[in-house]
Each structure stands twice: as C-alpha cells, then as structure tokens.
Amino acid sequence: MENNKPQWSSHLSFIIATVGSAVGLGNIWRFPYIMGKNGGAIFLLTYLILIAFICIIPLICELAIGKIYRTDTINALKEINPKFKWFGWLCIATVILIPCFYFVVGGWILNYIWIFISNNLPANFSDYFTSYSSQIFMPCLLTLVFLVMTASFPYRGVNKGIEKANNIMMPLFALMLIVMAVYAVTLPGAKEGLEFMFRPDFTQFNKSMVLTALGQALFTLSIGMGTIITYGSYMKDDSHIVKSGYTLILFDTLIAVIAGIMIFPIVFSFGVAPSAGASLVFIALPEIFAKLPGSSIIGLLFFILLFFAAITSGISILETAILAFINNLKISRQKATLLVCIIVAAISLPATLSFGLLSGVQIANKTIFDLLDYLTSNILLPFNTLLICLLSGWCVNSLWKKIFGENIFGYTFNIILKFIVPVILICVLVSGL
Ligand code: TRP
C-alpha cells in the first residue's frame, strides 16, 4: 500500500489541483453541448440550483472522507463499512468508463492543435468534423496518444510537474476564455445566444432534463467516483473542507458559464444548431478563429490550453483508478498504470469508431460513445453519489461533527445529508430514468 502519502505542498496547490481536476472538458465541451440539447436557460437554471444546494453536500463528504481516512476510494469505503467494498469497486468501474469517451475528445483536440499548427484550415468545419471523426486510423491513433500522454504523469508518480504547470496554465486559460467571451458578445448573433442561455423557457422543463442537469453537475465537479476522496486524502491538515468545497464550486461554475457565454453567441452568429451534440464546440469555435486576424495563432493557443485543461482532469481520473489498483491488487504503480491503460484503450477505441465504422452499433438508440457518456453521467454518478451520501450520513461516526463541530451548522448539515439530499437524489434518479 502507498503509505506515508505525499501531501500537497500548500493549501493553494491543493485548491489548484482540485480545480484542475474539476475544470476540464466537462466545462468547455460537455456543458455547452448538453445545455444546447436540453433547452438552454432552463437547463442552466436547474443546473445552478442543483450545484449550489445539492452537489455541495456530497462534495463536502468526499473531501471529508479523503481527509479522515487518507487512503484510496476502495479502502476508505471499506473502512467505513467492510460490507461496502463492492461499492468502492463500482466507483472504480465508473472511473474507468469515463476516460473511454473523455479521451476520444482529447484525441479530437490533438487533431485540432495539428490543423492550427499546420495552418491548414478547412473551409467548413461542420463537414470537416463529420468526415474526420468518421475516419478510422487518425482518430484512433490520437485517442491512444492522448491516453499515453495523460498516463505518463501518474506513471511517474503524482503531481510534481503538474502542480507547477497548473499554476501557470489554469489562470492563463481562464484569462483567454474571458477575452473570447467578451469578443463573442460583440458578434451579430450574440443577443440570440445570450437569450438562449439566460431566458428560461419553462415549457421545456421535464424530468429527464433534471437528471441530465444533475449528471452534468456531478461530472463537472468530479463527484461520484472517488476522485475527490483521492485528492482530499492528500489534503493538508489545516485545509478547511467547506471553504475548499465552495471555492471549487465557484471556480468550476464560473468557467462553465463563461464558456457558455463564449460559445452560444458564436453558435447563433454562424447558424450552428445548438443541439448539434458532442461535436458542437468543435464545429462552432473554429468558425470564429478562422475569421480572426492571426486566426491560426489564437486557435492554436486556445486548443493548447483546452488540451491542458483536459489533461489535468484526465490525470485525476486515471490517478483515482491507479491508486485503487496499487492498494487493492498489490501491484506497482507502473503495473497499475499499464493495466488501467489497457482497459481504457480496449473500450475507448470502439467509442472512437462509433462516429464512423461502428456508428450502426447502437443500444437503446445510442452509439457506444453516447452510451458511455449517458451511462456514467446519468446513471452511475448519481447512483454513486447517493450511496456516498447515505454512507457518510449513516455509517461514518458523526461526520458532521468532524467537519463543523457541535453547532447549528453541524446539526443542519447532518439533517440535510441524512434525509433531504438522499430523498431528492432518489426522486431525480427514479423520475429521470
Ligand atoms: N470534472 C472533469 C471535467 O469537468 C472530469 C472529471 C475528472 C470527472 N474527474 C472526474 C468526472 C470524476 C466525474 C468524476 O472535465
């Protein structure tokens, strides 16, 4: 077992690494695409309510479990109650399924970096994306390249380079997003874009949208499979759990909303359908880069930063599985990394091909890629989160006292955790399915 585990060198680098895990393709790629498919503003509203009032609770629980037990997800859950070891493995199964589609998108980003480097911009990105993603060789190769690049960090042991690189890249990325969002708002279609995002159409409200919003909220905050338990286990003793939770939520939500403000004006200005699906960002964004002076440089910079955001999240995903394998299968870090990579490669290649060769392979009307995305975000993450709340509330010896002490905040948190959040999660899950 990896004992004497390293701790983050400071509270700040813990926050930056956790934000680095949370801010990723979930914010820039998945959030706009899911919002576009689910009615825009009404989705945003539901999502914000769920984040502020519901998701903060499991987030705090995961941080607390990590900090209290200081071990990987499976062992932490086992220590809470040995009967729940299977649940630890379910979390790890989830953690392995996520990169199987996430890294496909990472491969697309690598390809876009290449087209901007070679300054070989296609005339129509919509056609280009469709034809590129349906190829066999390049997309598969780049999915694997992205996998190997990401895995090389946990392979060498966590975080030395990443801590430093995070400190520079994350602020730079935020700055670039803001500049682009400001520019996007001056485009001719901006008004429609912003209305789509901020003026709710209540007729679009439905139960499956609420579940989708919950899934997106959990996904973007990295909750529901032990990533936060793993990162929390490296937390310094004096780091404050609740404050860290809110800081994380604040940054993550801000980045997602700014990404939306950047993308929807472009979508409406260039006549892209907001409901285009997984390809939305890859069709809409380059349109604007192609129109700007110095387009290839700006496009290149953007996709490099996006690549970085994806890698930091990808590392946190892989690290969760790797640490669990090291501790529970009693194998070395290198072997564990290799094992995770082999499984991810075996599933992510069919997912990559599901935009072309395997597009006919569908289950419940969903391609392999969509199925992985749906299964993890709309079923596994909410289910795991429900169990994490139940375990934290009912099986950990007064978790609330350890976080808040015996005061009004502690009592309130305890009631919300034990009764209110589980009931809401069950309702959303059952009615959404
Ligand atoms: N939150 C990341 C993103 O928005 C993805 C991610 C990292 C994740 N770790 C996770 C999602 C754990 C679910 C669970 O891109």
Q: Which range among 4-8, 294-298, 322-326 shows the weakest confidence by mean pLDDT?
A: 4-8
Three-class HEC string of the chain = CCCCCCCCCCHHHHHHHHHHHHCCHHHHHHHHHHHHHCCCHHHHHHHHHHHHHHHHHHHHHHHHHHHHHCCCHHHHHHHHCHHHHHHHHHHHHHHHHHHHHHHHHHHHHHHHHHHHHCCCCCCCHHHHHHHHHCCCHHHHHHHHHHHHHHHHHHHCCCCHHHHHHHHHHHHHHHHHHHHHHHHHHCCCCHHHHHHHHHCCCHHHCCHHHHHHHHHHHHHHCCCCCCHHHHHHCCCCCCCCHHHHHHHHHHHHHHHHHHHHHHHHHHHHHCCCCCCCCCCHHHHHHHHHHHHCCCHHHHHHHHHHHHHHHHHHHHHHHHHHHHHHHHHHHCCCHHHHHHHHHHHHHHHHHHHHHCCCCCCCCEECCEEHHHHHHHHHHHHHHHHHHHHHHHHHHHCCCCHHHHHHCCCHHHHHHHHHHHHHHHHHHHHHHHHHC
Q: pLDDT tens digits, residue range 250-293?
A: 999 999 999 999 999 989 988 888 998 888 989 888 887 777 77
Q: pLDDT tens digits, residue range 84-134?
A: 888 989 999 999 999 999 999 999 999 999 998 888 888 888 899 999 999
Instruction: Determine the pLDDT at residue 3.
Output: 46
Whether the CB of 18 sits within 6 Å of ligand 1? no
Say how many Å lie between the CA of residue 28 and the centre of ligand 1: 12
Q: How many CA atoms lie within 13 A of 159 on its CB side?
A: 21
Q: What percent of the chain has pLDDT over 70?
A: 97
Whether the CB of 21 sits within 6 Å of ligand 1? yes
Whether the CB of 220 sits within 6 Å of ligand 1? yes
Say how many Å lie between the CA of residue 391 and the centre of ligand 1: 22
Instruction: Determine the pLDDT at residue 143.
Output: 97
**Residue nearest to ligand 1 atom 9, measured at CA:** 222
Instruction: Determine the pLDDT at residue 6.
Output: 65
Report the distance separating Cα 198 and Cα 208, nearest Å: 20
**Residue nearest to ligand 1 atom 8, measured at CA:** 222
Instruction: Determine the pLDDT at residue 161.
Output: 59
Q: pLDDT tens digits, residue range 45-62?
A: 999 999 999 999 999 999
Whether the CB of 253 sits within 6 Å of ligand 1? no
- Please say if the pLDDT value at position 2 is more than 60: no
pTM of the predicted protein model:
0.92
Say how many Å lie between the CA of residue 247 and the centre of ligand 1: 16
Q: Return the closest-CA partner of residue 219 out of 37, 421, 61, 375.
A: 375
